Amino acid sequence: MLQLWSHLVDWFSAHAVVPVLDVLHLGRLAGDPKDIAAALLIATLQLCIIGFVFRPLESWVPAERWKDRKLTRVDFTYTVMMLVGIFPLFSFLILTPLANWIGGVDTGPSDASASPLALTHWFPVLKQHPYVLFGIYYLVYDLVYYWMHRLQHALPWWWALHSMHHSTRQMSCWTNDRGSPVDGFIQSIILATVGIVMGVEPDEFAWLMLLGELVQNFSHANVRIHFGRVLGRVFVDPPFHRLHHMLVDPDRPGLHDCNFGQVFSLWDVVFGTALYGEPVRPTGVGDPMVDDDNNHGLIGLHWNALKRFWGAVRRPAGWRLGEVAFTEDYRPVPVSEWEAQGVGHRPVTSGVSGLVDAPTKEAAA
């Protein structure tokens, strides 16, 4: 299988990637064409796994039953754009030149240009154990993602962008990549910087992000598949992440502030943000200005997020930590003030035709 994969990468690089780079005069900037070919093939494989494994599971063991899936179409379109277009462009036309410009990745403890924080700089023995090294990389990467994700919810101008991801009423295996490109760019820059500092090579970083993306595609899937009492405390499963996307419950308004982990639910357990055992709930947001995303197509969806972002980032309130909603002029206001103005939450049954009964708290655990 490894030999077949190598031959496939070589063929795709020679017959597709190199000719395109030559036409665009990007050969010297984009890094190794084989790395680009591998990333594109991995993305294609990822799309196949989502479409031919996760998607059927949504029909066989759904968490919610929908009359139709029309609200998932925009997420499907954007997922394809991200995996075979936007993400490879970022990884190999921005990340690789950046890594080369600052001196390249770590090449050993005697290399003066290497990052002083690179893992293999301080622990050269890890170079002899690439899978262990990759696992450590991923733990650090996922921990950084956890805290970044919490900030996305707490910093109003960032929530203005990230709320586009949460506005979906039909969370599915295609929802993971639903997000503003500005939000995605900020996330990628932060994670890429951490990767470069740790000494992660660009092709390894592509694997890190693609692996995380695939796991998140599954955790967003509309399925009721639990990992059990033990593994569920370590890894994020779909019911766990679904609670992070739950529609705000007016009777328990802080309940949705939970389950921020990307791959490891362990971080939520350690830092006290884990929530288990709740019944299946509809997904979406209570803020009508954000929920309005569902009334638009791909372009309008992104335009809404940018208007919220501009309304927040240029105002002092957009920089004060706390949960906010948005007024009609896109001004962020604390949720308590917003509720005092009499703006109600979207009804908890909106957009949902049927909820599959959830297991009991003990069974979910």
pLDDT tens-digit series, residues 63-121: 999 988 999 999 999 888 877 766 666 666 655 655 555 545 444 444 444 566 677 77
Long-range contacts of 288-291 (CB under 8 A, 24+ apart): 288/343, 288/346, 289/325, 289/326, 289/327, 289/328, 289/330, 290/163, 290/164, 290/166, 290/167, 290/325, 290/326, 291/167, 291/169, 291/346
Domain-embedded: residue 210: yes
pLDDT at 362 over 50: no
Domain count within the chain? 1
Q: Position 314: which residue type?
A: R
Domain-embedded: residue 284: yes
> What value does the mean pLDDT take over residues 120-125?
76
Domain-embedded: residue 100: yes
> What value does the mean pLDDT take over residues 203-210?
67
pLDDT at 150 over 60: yes
Range of the domain at 159: 2-352
Domain-embedded: residue 86: yes
Lowest mean pLDDT across 6-20, 21-35, 41-55, 127-141 = 21-35
Phi, psi of 355 (to 5 degrees): -105, 130
Domain-embedded: residue 359: no
DSSP lists the bridge partners of residue 332 as: 326
Domain-embedded: residue 340: yes
Domain-embedded: residue 209: yes
- pLDDT at residue number 84: 72
Domain-embedded: residue 365: no
Are the C-beta atoms of residues 129 and 251 closer than 8 Å to each other? no
3-class SS of residue 262:
coil
